[in-house]
Amino acid sequence: MEQVVRTSLEGDIGLIVLDNPPVNAAGHGLRAGLVAALDRLVAEPAVKVIALYGAGRSFIAGADIREFGKPPRDPWLPEVCNRIEDCAKPVVAVLHGAALGGGLEVAIAAHARVAIRGVALGFPEVTLGVLPGAGGTQRGPRLAGVAAALDLITTGRRIGAEEALALGLVDRVAEGDPRTVALAAARDVLDGRLTARRTRDIHIDPDREALETTKQTLLHTQAHLFSPHACVEAVAAATLPLPEGLAKERQLFQACIDSPQRAGLIHAFFAERAVAKIPEAAATPRPVTRIGVVGAGTMGAGITTACLLASEPVVLIDSAPEALERGAAAVARNLDGAVSRGKMTPAARGAIRLTTATTLDALAGCDLVIEAVFEEMDVKTATLRGIETICPGAVIATNTSYLDLNVMAETLADPRNFLGLHFFSPAHVMRLVEVVVADATAPEVVATGFALAKRLKKIAVRSGVCDGFIGNRIMSAYRRAADLMALDGTPIDAIDAAVRGYGFAMGPFEMGDLAGLDIGWAARKRQAATRDPATRDHGALADRLCEAGWLGRKTGCGWYDHSGDTPVPNPALPGLLREIQQAERITPHILDADEIITRYETAMIAEAARVVEEGIARYPIDIDAVFLFGYGFPRWKGGPMHRADEIGAAALVARIARLAQDDPKGGWQVPAILHCMAREGGSFAGLNIGR
C-alpha cells in the first residue's frame, strides 16, 4: 500500500508529508506512520527542525470518523499529539485545504503553525456528537483564549487563515504550495524568525464568565444535545495541568462516543455523501446552460430563485400575466432577502439573468426545463408536450409531488429525456431534491438531475415512481397515525408537543396549518377510490375542517385558531370530534407522549421499510437523507431507518402487532422485510453496505 506518511531530508530540515487520500483522515495508518516518521527524524543527527504538511487537497481533515465506535487502535490521536509536543526537535505544521478536528489538534500540538491562505480551520466535532478529543479543548484555549476556544468548539464553525492568525491559533499566513511553505517555515524556525514553543507551556487565564455564559446559553439552546455541554466541561479543565486536563477531556470524549447521538450524527454525515452514489453516476450529465421554469406559482418562483442564487440563467414562463408578475416579484423578494442575509453578493444579485414570458416559445434554447404548473395530470401533460415541441432534445423535468411520471412520459415523443425533480417548499431554502427516475429515463438524464442539484447546493436523492415518492409517501403514513390518534381523542396540541419533544421543529397539525389543509384534502380525495375499506377513514376530522373552510393559517383557522397572539386549538374541534366518535362508535382514549411517539415513529418506520422493500429508495440511507434534509427529522437521531436499527426489528414487529391488536382497522401491518430481519437477523445498516 502506498505509504501514507513519508519523510525526506532537505539539509538540516526533516520533512514529513501526509498522503492519505482523499482528505488525509487521521486513520490508524496515518497515526502510526506519523509517529514512526517523527522517531526517524529525531534519530537523524542531520535534522535540526521538522516540518509537517499534507499532500493532495488538504492537511488532516480530522480523525477517521469511520473508526468511531470500533475498538481504538494504538497510537491514539491524543498520544500522537503528545508525541509531537514532546518532540525534542522543533516541529512546524503547514496547513492547507482543511485542518479540522484532529487535524487542527495535530497542528496546535506542533511548536509553530503556518496557514496557507484558503485553508479551513475548526473543531467540527460537536456537529458529530463528540468533542475535540486529542487535546483541542486543552491546547485551543492556551493559544486562542477560553472565550474564543469555547466559541469554536461549541459551534463547530470553520474559520479562515486570517481569523486563525488573529486568534493566535496559527503564527503566520502564507501563500504557495505546502512543501515550499514548509521548507521556508522550517528555515525561519532555525533562523529565529519563527518562534517555536510548546503549547502546554503557555499560561492560561481562567475565564469563568465565558464558561458560565456559554453554559447557560447552551442549556437554553441545546438542551436536547449531549456533546455541547461536555465541550464546556472539557474546556473548563484547561486551567488544570495539561495531563489532568487531557485526562478529563478523554473521559468526556468517551462519554460522547458512547452516546446514541454520536451514532446518529455520524450517520447523518455519511448519509449526505452516500446518496450521490447512484447507478447512473458514471453517465455524463448533459450540458445545462439555460434553464426554463414553467409555472410562476410558489414552487416555480422558488425553483427560479434557487437557480438564480446559483447564477444559472432562467426563463420563467406563466401563461397568466398577473401570475407571472406575482412570481417575478416573489423571486425579486427572495433574492433581496438573500442579499440582506449575506447569502448573495450585491454584484451577483445585479448580474442575475432572468427572462419572463407568457408563452412557451420563449423557452427556445433552453437545455433543461422544469414544469411547476397546477398539480393536475392533463395540465401537466399538455405543458410537457409544449415544452418538448419548443425544446426538442432538452431535459424535461416535472416538479410534481405525487403524479405518476410513467403516465406523463407516455405523452412525450422521447421519454428518455424526462425525469422528476421534486423540490421542497420553499424551494430556494430546502436542501432536498428528490430526483425521480421513470421507466424510460436515460442514465445521463438522471446524472444531469444530480449535477444540477449539486450546482444548486442541494442534496439529491434518487427515487422510484410511486404516490408521493419517498418523502411524501412516508409522511402520509405517519400523518395518518396522527389523525387516528386525534380521532380517538388525544388532543392535537398534545400530539404536536410530543412530536416537537422528539426533535421536529413542529408537529403534524401545526405543519398542516402552515402548508394548508387543502393539500391533504386533495390527496385524500385522490386516494379515496383506492383506500382500503377495511381501514378507518383517518381524514374524517380534517375533512370536516376543510368543508367548513378552515384550511389553516391562510384562512386564519384550521386545526388551530390563529386569530390571537398564540394559536389555540380550533374551538369547534371537540364538537366535531364528538359527532364523529358517536357516528363511528369510537371509544375515546387519550395517549401519553411516549405512546404518541411510539405510534408516530412506528408508522414512519413501517412505511419506510416498504419503500425500501419495493425499491423506491435503493438504500435505507437514502430515506434517512430525505428525512434529515427535507422533513426536519432530528439530525442526532440519524433518520427513520437508523432509528429502526436502534429499536431493532424484533421490537418493531412486536410493536406493530400490539398496535394492530389495539386498533384492528388502524392499518397496522408488519412489512415483510421487518419480519425477515426479526427472524433471520440483519439490519437496515447492513443493506447500506456496498453502496
Catalytic residue annotation:
105, 125
Of 16, 65, 194, 677, the one binding ligand T1G (CB under 6 A) is 65
End-to-end CA distance of the chain: 23
Instruction: Quote the least distance from Cβ 637 to ligand T1G, whole Å.
Output: 19
Which residue's C-beta sits nearest to ligand T1G?
A: 62
- Bridge partners, 371 (sequence order): 294, 398
Residue whose CB is less far from ligand T1G, 275 or 487: 275
* Min CB(302)–ligand T1G separation in Å: 25
Contact 285, 447 (CB under 8 A): yes
**In this complex, which beta carbon is closest to ligand T1G, that of residue 134 or of residue 309?**
134
Q: Is 101 in the site for ligand T1G (CB under 6 A)?
A: yes
In whole angstroms, what separates CA 421 from the centre of its chain?
Answer: 18
- Judged by DSSP in three states, 550 sits in coil
Phi, psi of 70 (to 5 degrees): -100, 160
**Does 318 interact with ligand T1G (rule: CB under 6 A)?**
no
- Cβ neighbours for 428, distance < 8 A, ≥ 6 positions apart: 302, 303, 305, 306, 309, 334, 338
Count of residues of this chain found to bind ligand T1G when the rule CB under 6 A is applied: 25
Within positions 103 to 122, which residues make up the interface with ligand T1G, using CB under 6 A? 105
- Which x/- pattern, by CB under 6 A, does the window 3-42 give for ligand T1G? -------------------xx-x-----------------
Q: Which stretch binds ligand T1G (CB under 6 A): 93-101, 346-354, 419-427, 454-462?
A: 93-101
**Distance, CA of 628 to CA of 632 (rounded, Å):** 6
Q: What is the DSSP string of 289-305?
A: --EEEE--SHHHHHHHH
CB of 269 to ligand T1G, least distance (A): 7
- The answer to whether 128 contacts ligand T1G (rule: CB under 6 A) is yes
134 is a contact residue toward ligand T1G (CB under 6 A): yes
In angstroms, rounded to a whole number, what is the distance separating the alpha carbons of residues 158 and 667? 47
Residue 124 touches ligand T1G, criterion: CB under 6 A: yes
Give least dist CB 439 to ligand T1G, A.
Answer: 29
Considering only residues 248-287, where is the footprint of ligand T1G by CB under 6 A? 270, 273
Backbone angles phi, psi at 527, to 5 degrees: -90, -5
Q: Which three cell numbers stand for residue 37?
A: 516518521
Residue 253 Cβ, how far from ligand T1G at the closest point, in Å?
A: 7
Helix or strand run (H / E) with residue 16? strand 13-18
What lies within 8 Å, CB to CB, of 204 at 6+ separation is: 141, 142, 146, 238, 239
Nearest approach, Cβ of residue 456 and ligand T1G (Å): 16
User: For ligand T1G, which residue of 37, 100, 445, 605 counts as binding (CB under 6 A)?
Assistant: 100
d(CA 131, CA 105): 11
* Residue 655 near residue 598 (C-beta atoms within 8 A): yes
Under the criterion CB under 6 A, does residue 77 sit at the interface with ligand T1G?
Answer: yes
Whose grid coordinates read 419533544? 501
Q: What letter does residue 66 receive in the DSSP assignment?
A: G
Cβ atoms of 465 and 405 closer than 8 Å: yes
Q: How far is the CB of 59 from ligand T1G (least distance, A)?
A: 10
Closest by CA position to 615, among listed 445, 493, 432, 439: 439
Asked if 63 interacts with ligand T1G (CB under 6 A), we say yes
Query: Does the protein bind ligand T1G through residue 132 (CB under 6 A)?
Result: yes
If one asks whether residue 98 binds ligand T1G (CB under 6 A), the answer comes out as: yes
Rg (alpha carbons) of the chain, rounded to whole number:
29
Q: Which is nearer to ligand T1G, 13 or 99 (CB)?
A: 99
Task: Report d(CA 671, CA 23) in Å as an integer.
Answer: 40
Binding of residue 133 to ligand T1G (CB under 6 A) = yes
Which range in 128-136, 287-295, 320-328, 588-596 contacts ligand T1G by CB under 6 A? 128-136
For position 66 contacting ligand T1G by CB under 6 A, the verdict is: yes
User: Residue 372 corresponds to which amino acid?
Assistant: A
In the bound complex, what is the minimum distance in angstroms from residue 461's beta carbon to ligand T1G?
Answer: 15
Which residues contribute to the site for ligand T1G (CB under 6 A)? 22-23, 25, 61-66, 77, 98, 100-102, 105, 124-125, 128, 130, 132-134, 136, 270, 273
